Structure 1
Amino acid sequence: MFPEAWEFHVAPHLNSGIKALIQNHGEAFDAFSNALLQLLLWIQSALSAVPWWGYILLIAAISWFSIRKVLPTLVLSLLPVIIGVFGLWGLAIETLAIVITSVVISLALGIPLGVLMAEVKTVGVIIRPILDAMQTMPSFVYLIPAMMLFGLGKVPAILATVIYALPPVIRLTCLGIELVPKSVQEAALAYGATRWQLLKEVRLPLAMPSIMAGVNQTTMMALSMVVIASMIGARGLGQEVLMAINRINVGRGFESGLSIVIMAIVIDRITQGLAKKWDPVKKP
């Protein structure tokens, strides 16, 4: 047995720190929660205002723009109809609103951090261990601080999803910028480009395929948190899966799970197509 005299627990200190944080800055957390909830409700209302056939046409247009193939465009456009046939269209819109909100926040934080990591090596040394911890931490753990600070509901679910989905876009943005050929950068500098011009006109455009791959991975990871986030009141399709598990309802779980898979396939194929479309070196 491990000696009890050597044991040291950080849990009491973390719990007391969280309680002090809530007591001293509770109003700030409430204001942030309300602002995030308003953003989510605005996105969800905008998504709900679009008729179901509007999504079919929108998916068809984006798929054709990114893929330029008839059969994949047709398949991707018709797959969401299955969600409506299952009677889960409204829940799918709720899920989509949570995913979009989480991805927007993740990209707004992740892309600048990835650029900063590539530009300032010290920042990379500091952030990489944090990203390692974020990616190896069990996803359920993210629900605990989010729930303690913001209670139950969609806001803590969004924050937990952001933490879980943030690392890929940071890493791939940094990687894409670092892999820009040195010869291209030296040529731009030889023509008198400043450091900002080099980043804006050369490094970021050439890193765009890697950045788009980061967007794809972040979106997929956000969607994968749907079921887990439903445990703290995120609702949507994840709630259907959770209820099916609790009631051992295989059919209900299959329908809701297949609906999540359909959303993932459509989003994945479209973002992959856009990544190839924006590749300045190799066009599809």
Structure 2
Amino acid sequence: MVIIINNIIELLTTKIPLGNWVENLVNFLINNFSGPLNGFSSFIESIVGGVESVLAFSHPLVFIAIFALIAWKLKGKKMAVFVALGLGLVLNLEMWDPLITTLASIITSVLVALVIGIPVGIIKAHNKWVDLITRPILDFMQTIPPFVYLIPALMFFGLGNVSGVIATVVFAIAPPIRLTYLGIQQVDEELEEAGHAFGANWWQILFKIELPGAMPSIMMGINQCIMLSLSMVVIAAMIGAGGLGKPVLRSLNVVDIGLGFEAGLGVVIIAMVLDRMFGRDS
């Protein structure tokens, strides 16, 4: 009995080499899949560069006017005035170029997260096994500190905007998955039964009953995805991502309060603009 207890104590006090296992796995993936990883990195980089080129194509004042017009159509005159004044302040503070880089990274991250997240949420709502498998994974993704995402992104894709986008996607993808799943689960079963009664197939029920009924929840997921992407702006700057996070990080290194406030204000303004335009009512 004493021997068994001693063995148990020795087993419990022996450290599991989890870190070594993870490091070996990462090294294996890098050594054997460097080609696909480089190709994927180039693909993401081309998307970010393309979006940034489109955003930077016109004069800043033209961009502000277009954005204000979109805000007017979506949310009204007050929102248009707020967008014009907020983006005008960013331009005046000479933070326009970092703002464009930040917007390009956010747009790319959100698009990738939604292209993956919404279909996964739909499958999750229709398949119990997928639901069981993804539930602990999503719990893990939403509770782990965001700084941890930077480590594998940096090792797989190196310094730069691509690593920042990948880390942001992993950090922000959980809300679209979960809120799409929740929205479909909350659709009235009687509506689905009526669709089946009229001979609708699975695709017709999905696109004409489930997705329209789940749209408020899906839009909330999109809004949360945008906000989480913005929250990674400064953190992603630690691995070489550009944008407004870069001057914030530089201000911390040199204790430049003014620079940090100006760049931080730019992050706040773009966050408020995107939240009001594509989220809650202003």
Short-chain TM bin? over 0.9
Alpha-carbon distance between aligned partners in 2 of 1:243 and 1:132, rounded to the nearest angstrom: 33
Show the counterpart of 1:111.
118
Show the counterpart of 2:177.
170
Q: 1:66 aligns with which of 70, 74, 78?
A: 74
Question: Is there any run of 5+ residues in structure 2 with no aligned partner, and where?
Answer: 1-8
Q: 1:89 aligns with which of 93, 96, 100?
A: 96
Deviation at 1:60, TM superposition (A): 2.1
User: Partner amino acid for 2:205?
Assistant: L
Show the counterpart of 2:108.
101
Alignment of 1:1-284 (within 5 A): 5-67=13-75, 69-272=76-279
Alpha-carbon distance between aligned partners in 1 of 2:254 and 2:222, rounded to the nearest angstrom: 35
Deviation at 1:9, TM superposition (A): 2.1
Alpha-carbon distance between aligned partners in 1 of 2:260 and 2:81, rounded to the nearest angstrom: 27
- Superposed CA offset, 1:190-235 (max 9, x none): 2221222111111101111111111110011001100000001001
* Range 187-196 or range 99-108, more displaced: 187-196
Alpha-carbon distance between aligned partners in 2 of 1:139 and 1:88, rounded to the nearest angstrom: 25
User: Partner amino acid for 2:221?
Assistant: G
User: Partner amino acid for 2:121?
Assistant: G
Deviation at 1:48, TM superposition (A): 0.9
Alpha-carbon distance between aligned partners in 1 of 2:188 and 2:131, rounded to the nearest angstrom: 20
RMSD over aligned Cα atoms? 1.6
Show the counterpart of 2:3.
none
Alpha-carbon distance between aligned partners in 2 of 1:53 and 1:86, rounded to the nearest angstrom: 14
* Range 46-55 or range 241-250, more displaced: 46-55
> What is the TM-score of this pair, normalised by structure 2?
0.93
Q: Are the equivalent residues in 2 in contact too, given 1:56–1:78 (CA < 8 A)?
A: no
- Superposed CA offset, 1:13-32 (max 9, x none): 11112112111121221111
* Range 125-134 or range 55-64, more displaced: 55-64
Q: Are the equivalent residues in 2 in contact too, given 1:241–1:252 (CA < 8 A)?
A: yes
User: Partner amino acid for 1:171?
Assistant: R
Show the counterpart of 1:280.
none
Question: Is there any run of 5+ residues in structure 1 with no aligned partner, and where?
Answer: 277-283
User: Partner amino acid for 2:202?
Assistant: R
Deviation at 1:183, TM superposition (A): 2.1
User: Partner amino acid for 2:22?
Assistant: L
Instruction: Give the match's secondary structure for 1:87.
Output: coil
Q: Are the equivalent residues in 2 in contact too, given 1:147–1:156 (CA < 8 A)?
A: yes
User: Partner amino acid for 1:175?
Assistant: L
* Range 104-113 or range 35-44, more displaced: 35-44
Q: Are the equivalent residues in 2 in contact too, given 1:146–1:159 (CA < 8 A)?
A: yes
> What is the TM-score of this pair, normalised by structure 1?
0.92
